[in-house]
Amino acid sequence: MEDLLYLYAESFHAFEPVVCFDERPYQLLSDLVEPLPCELEQPLRIDYQYSREGVCNSCVFYEPHYGWRHVEVTPSRTKKDFAHQMKDLVDIYFPRAGKIRVVLDNLNTHTPAALYKTFSPSEAKSILERLEFHYTPKHGSWLNQVEIEISVLSRQCLDRRIPDIETLRQEIKAWEKERNHQKAKIDWRFSASDARVKFKRFYPTLNLS
């Protein structure tokens, strides 16, 4: 836990950015009955019936210092998908960075092995040499700042029925563009000293007598 908190507290390093990453599934839904349009003092009226159109995945990046985020919508959530996201992080989003510190959950797909299963050994090694993984502890995914960004995305963009993956991509792209234009940042205030007070019971007790 303190590893992440000290990482967040570091001064900004342009060539060693901190990038928070996580993935979330999204259920595509379509209306069976056409919604009734808005009228004067009457909001849009949506019928309770809907049709399930499948599930896709959103890969979300968030860089706290720049106030930058990017969301990539993929049909699946596999090791291959994760590997390609890490390659894009290195080659496209931060090509000039010497080392990218990636904060992520400790899932079975979020491993260096995923890159070796997707790319040639030399390419996988080249990508991993520029990545430094910092994993959230068990039951500590809330320490990943991108969780807050995903919550904002869900409230501002995804709290409605979206029928297909292309529409979802367009809607998220518009949301992302506006958030990046604003350089919206998360006001993270939880520090290592706060953790030592709040989670005192989890720290070892030293007997100095």
Beta-carbon neighbour count of residue 119 at 10 Å?
A: 19
- Extract the residue ranges of the chain whose pLDDT is less than 70: 35-36, 44-45, 47, 206-209
Q: Rounded CA gap, 114 and 79, in Å?
A: 5
Predicted pLDDT of residue 204: 79
Predicted pLDDT of residue 45: 67
Nearest 5 degrees, angle CA 2-CA 71-CA 101? 30
For residues 140 and 3, the answer to whether their CB atoms sit within 8 Å is no
Predicted pLDDT of residue 118: 97
Q: Rounded CA gap, 130 and 95, in Å?
A: 10
- Output 175-179 pairs: Cβ under 8 A, ≥24 positions apart: 176/69, 176/70, 176/71, 179/69, 179/152
The model carries a pTM of 0.89
Residue with tokens 């009734």: 36
Predicted pLDDT of residue 17: 96
Predicted pLDDT of residue 36: 65
For residues 64 and 57, the answer to whether their CB atoms sit within 8 Å is no
Predicted pLDDT of residue 44: 65
